[in-house]
Amino acid sequence: MKHDHFVVQAPQTPARQLLLFFHGVGDNPVSMGQVASLFAPVFPEALIVSIGGAEPCGPAPARQWFSVQEVTEENRQARIDAIMPVFIETVRYWQAQSGLGPQATALVGFSQGAIMSLESVKAQPELASRVIAFNGRYASLPTRINRDLTLHLIHGGEDPVINLSHAVAAQEALIEAGGDVTLDIVDGLGHAIDDRSLQLALDHLRFTVPKHYFDEALSGGKPNDDDIVEFL
């Protein structure tokens, strides 16, 4: 499958985790790869790839998944839905390349990359086991969610591009649907990723135990060995 991407880390032995990173409008996979590179020392056995948007956006190397020109609350979902099959195909391509399935896959996105990551697991609930959404939102709030999925929303408290209220509404909708979600608000941060955001993401991937493990334990079950490949 031909698409713009930048391999940040490819372990010498078979990968145990797959971390896919998705940039915002007008950015590119090499630039987002700088963020992704900070995850490499923490997850040395992970295949880490920064993925470029599906279409150019202004002068090269800027890319995007969908145009934000004249985007509205009414047409945003349709634009996302139109390109979503390509996004899902890209994730599945790297799962096939790594030999890893959804349980070992984390999608990490900023801005439009976060939107696509959130919307992808709404469209295809078993696409991944973790989503890290930096300053993102849903086009339309989910009413159902895969309970084996854990979502981490990390948002700037002063974001002028995607207002914090979208993250709060997403958290409320996900909880209402029975989802496993965390929301961290980074005080004073605008539409950006800073050291605090990054540390929150790393800590969640390393230390936050998915809720479905507790649910399985309470019901007398236990995770299958294939499930314990996540990010703990």
The residues assigned a catalytic role are: 111, 159, 191
Helices 112-123, 76-98: inter-axial angle, 10-degree rounding: 80
Q: What values do phi and psi take at 106, rounded to 5?
A: -120, 135
> Rounded to an integer, what distance in angstroms lies between the CA atom of residue 232 and that of residue 225?
14
> Rounded to an integer, what distance in angstroms lies between the CA atom of residue 150 and that of residue 15?
21
